[in-house]
Each structure stands twice: as C-alpha cells, then as structure tokens.
A = this chain, B = another copy of it.
Amino acid sequence: MFQVIFIGTGGGAPSKRGLPAYLMKKDNFTALLDCGEGTQLAMIRNSLNVMSIKLVAITHLHADHVLGLPPLIQTMSMYGRKEKLYVMGPPGIKELLEESFELTFFKPDFPLEFVDELTLGEIHVTPFRTCHVVPSQGYLIQERDSSNLDVEKLRREGINDWRIMRTLKEGKEVHWEGRTLRPEDYLIKRRGLRIAYTGDTRPCNEVIRAVRGVDLLLHDSTFEAGVNAGEYGHSTSVEAAEVAKEAEVRRLALIHISSRYRDATELVKQAKRVFPMSFAPSDLSFLNLRQG
C-alpha cells in the first residue's frame, strides 16, 4: 500500500492551503515531493516524522516549491540526523542549498546526495519533462511489479510440493508427472502502483506520455476554466482533467489551487465533467492507494 499525504495543496502565495509539499510513503520508503515554505511546520505539528524522509524531489526552483527545503534540512541536522538524504531537482538545486547554508552559517551533519533518479528497495523514482516557465520536471514513482503463486490453482491440481512452487515462483518450468508446468500459468501478476506528480505545468504531450496509466496523477490545477492559466505556465482544472483522460490514469488529484479560491468545489465540478475520477484534496488529507 502507498500512502500519499497532501501536505500543502495551494500554490503561489499561501492561504488556507499551504505551499506545495506531498509525501509518498510505502513501508520504509518516504519521499517528499516539493517543499514550499512551512512544510516542516505542517509536518512537525501534525506528527509527520521529518526524519523518515529518504528523498526530497523538487520540481522547479520557484520560491513556493523550494524555500521550505533549506530550513527542513537544518532541522533534520538539529535533530541529529546522520543518514544520507537524497535530493533530486532541476539545475540550480545544489547551488540554492549550498548558498543558503553558507549565508546562514550552516553545514549539515549528514550527507546530501544529488541524484538524477533513484531506486530504493521496490521503489523507483524518475523525473519527466514538464512544461513550465522555468526549468522544471515532474516525478514518476513506480513500485516494482511482482507476482504471486496461484496456490489455489496448484492445490486444485494436486500440486503441494514446495520445491515445485519455489521453482515456478522463480519463473522456471517444472516437469511433473509427465506434464510441463509453465510459470505463466501459475503466477498472478501484480503490477506495481504508479504515482505521478507534475509540479507546475501547462498541459502538454510530454506530461501525457510520462504519466500514461498511472494509478494517481497529481496535476497542476491552479485555476478554473476560462482563466488564462497559460500566462504563468499553469493549467486549469479542466486542462488537468483532459490530461488525465488522455493519459488514461486511474485517479486525478487537482493540486496547486490558487489562493484566490476559497474552496475548490467549482474547480472539481468542472474537472469531473471531463474526468469523473477527479478530486481536490485538502491540506493534510491522505489517500491510501492499493493495487485494484
């Protein structure tokens, strides 16, 4: 099971909604996608453990997406972190952190490793190109596909030998009582969950290609239909829904809601007309994703 915690679902200036920050958790894996100002405050005040974060992935270097990261790293250090922290982001992310540390008399007590992509256990995180007004990238988080033996079927056929089961599970054929047992006949494939987060973006083909078929898409949905969202490189909720529909994703989270909206009801209504599985999470809500 994947847990997605929507820490800050606003964008631009803070409002009732905080600035962008999304936590992706599975077992020991925790990634923080974007880290706007106030991310650590929201986490600490809501008992979300900042020390469990293994990876921080930043979509682009606009203030509302990144200025919570230098102070978050300082707090991790103050709390005694020694474990490496992986960091992903567009060009300039390393410089931004290093400059910020130097100007505030700080040096982390733990290593930062800047990576382009990352596999930790069963989870693989890769960036994809997005279409914003400054260098930007989204992130695809993929759980490894797995397969389980169809024990019921084997039992029905009278196969109980654990050595046979093990061999089939390893993907190898077994000769048994004059028959050839093929693994593909006895394995139930389970496709890993896939989650994509765009950060700020116009709707575009690069995004559609990258997020095709994901279980959950978090897409820029700054404005309602009719607003010229393109002026600042954003999307309306309807444009987000069109991407979701085109890419045949399972669910769409409308995020980066502008502070001008007191509530997102209208944005959701508009999106649902195009893509019914749309929703607008509120700050600190979460979603448990299961393969389904």
Q: Which of A57-65, A146-154, A217-225 contacts B (4 or more CB under 8 A)?
A: A57-65
Q: How far is the CB of A22 from chain B (nearest CB, A)?
A: 17
Is A13 on the interface with B (CB-CB < 8 A)? yes
Given known A40-B37, A41-B38, A71-B37, contact A66–B14 (CB-CB < 8 A) = no
CB–CB A14/B75 < 8 A: yes
Q: How far is the CB of A179 from chain B (nearest CB, A)?
A: 65
Q: How far is the CB of A52 from chain B (nearest CB, A)?
A: 16
Within 218-237 of A, Cβ neighbours of B (below 8 Å) are at: none
CB–CB B75/A44 < 8 A: no
Which bucket holds chain A's interface residue count?
Answer: 35 or more
CB–CB A66/B104 < 8 A: yes
- With a cutoff of 8 Å between Cβ atoms, the chain B residues found around residue A15 in the complex are 44-45
Is A203 on the interface with B (CB-CB < 8 A)? no
CB–CB A41/B45 < 8 A: no
Is A99 on the interface with B (CB-CB < 8 A)? yes
CB–CB A41/B18 < 8 A: yes
- With a cutoff of 8 Å between Cβ atoms, the chain B residues found around residue A70 in the complex are 63, 67
CB–CB A14/B37 < 8 A: no
Within 23-72 of A, Cβ neighbours of B (below 8 Å) are at: 37-38, 40-41, 44-45, 61-64, 66-68, 70-71
CB–CB A16/B45 < 8 A: yes
Is A110 on the interface with B (CB-CB < 8 A)? no
Complex alpha-carbon distance, A144 and B31, angstroms? 54
Q: Which residue of B lies closest to A105 (CB)?
A: B134
Given known A41-B41, A61-B104, contact A71–B67 (CB-CB < 8 A) = yes
Given known A13-B44, A92-B103, A103-B96, contact A71–B78 (CB-CB < 8 A) = no
Is A276 on the interface with B (CB-CB < 8 A)? no
Is A12 on the interface with B (CB-CB < 8 A)? yes
- With a cutoff of 8 Å between Cβ atoms, the chain B residues found around residue A270 in the complex are none
Interchain Cβ contacts under 8 Å between A and B, 13 examples: A13-B78, A16-B45, A18-B41, A61-B103, A62-B106, A63-B100, A63-B104, A67-B67, A67-B71, A67-B100, A67-B104, A95-B103, A96-B104
Sample of 4 further A-B pairs with CB below 8 A, known A37-B67, A67-B67: A12-B78, A37-B68, A63-B106, A66-B104
